[in-house]
């Protein structure tokens, strides 16, 4: 399989739901999102009243008829001045390439564009890889949600990134230049 070295990021659209669901089921088999959940999120991602930002990462490859393969996705929801990272996922064969960092950077940029003062997220307590990524970006643990991930009854670690006093948004507080993140 030949894939491009630099994945392309673009807005997630309805036609991306099927390949995203394939990744979702592979990466999160116990608590994968449904088709309806993605449709609902995308319904709030366009137009003047948009409160969501969803992205896909794609690379050239031989695995699909079009020669393009979705290798990652990410989503952000906003309410007022608070953003919530809904999901970030990277295909297993792209772990360690920095794609998770790229997707997170794009979500934080979107949070800044939405003028959010803080960004929240929940992460499985057993997903140490993701926790380390979020900590490198300045997220700090603030609590737990017991039994958050169902049906496995796995706890969630709640993390928050707040506004740097010298910036106008939470995304402005994150400096990734020169940071090497293996995700």
Residue 1: which pLDDT band, with cuts at 50, 70 and 90?
A: very low
Q: Determine the average pLDDT of the residues in 84-109.
A: 95
**Which pLDDT score, from 0 to 100, does residue 150 have?**
87
DSSP string, the chain: ----SSPEEEE--GGGHHHHHHHHHHH-TTTPPPHHHHHHHHTTSSSTT--EEEEEEEEE-SSSTTSEEEEEEEEEEEETTEEEEEEEEE-GGGTTSSHHHHHHHHHHHHHHHTT-SEEEEEEETT-HHHHHHHHHTT-EEEEEEEEEETTTTEEEEEEEEE--TTSSSSGGG---TT-----
134-181 pLDDT tens trace: 999 999 999 999 999 888 899 999 999 996 545 555 554 443 322 233
Asked if 21 contacts 32 with a C-beta cutoff of 8 angstroms, the reply is: yes
């Amino acid at each position: 399989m030949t894939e491009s070295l630099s994945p392309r990021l673009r807005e997630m659209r309805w036609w991306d739901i099927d390949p995203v669901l394939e990744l979702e089921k592979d990466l999160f088999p116990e608590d994968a999102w449904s088709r309806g959940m993605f449709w609902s999120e995308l319904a709030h991602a366009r137009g003047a009243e948009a409160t969501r930002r969803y992205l896909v990462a794609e690379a050239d490859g031989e695995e699909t008829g079009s020669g393009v393969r979705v290798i990652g996705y990410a989503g952000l929801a906003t309410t007022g001045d608070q953003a919530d990272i809904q999901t970030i996922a990277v295909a297993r064969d792209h772990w360690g390439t920095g794609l998770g960092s790229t997707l997170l950077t794009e979500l934080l940029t979107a949070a800044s564009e939405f003028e959010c003062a803080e960004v929240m997220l929940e992460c499985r307590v057993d997903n140490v890889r993701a926790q380390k990524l979020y900590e490198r970006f300045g997220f700090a643990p603030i609590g737990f949600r017991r039994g958050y991930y169902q049906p496995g009854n796995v706890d969630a670690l709640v993390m928050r990134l707040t506004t740097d006093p010298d910036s106008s948004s939470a995304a402005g507080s994150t400096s990734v230049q020169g940071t090497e993140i293996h995700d």
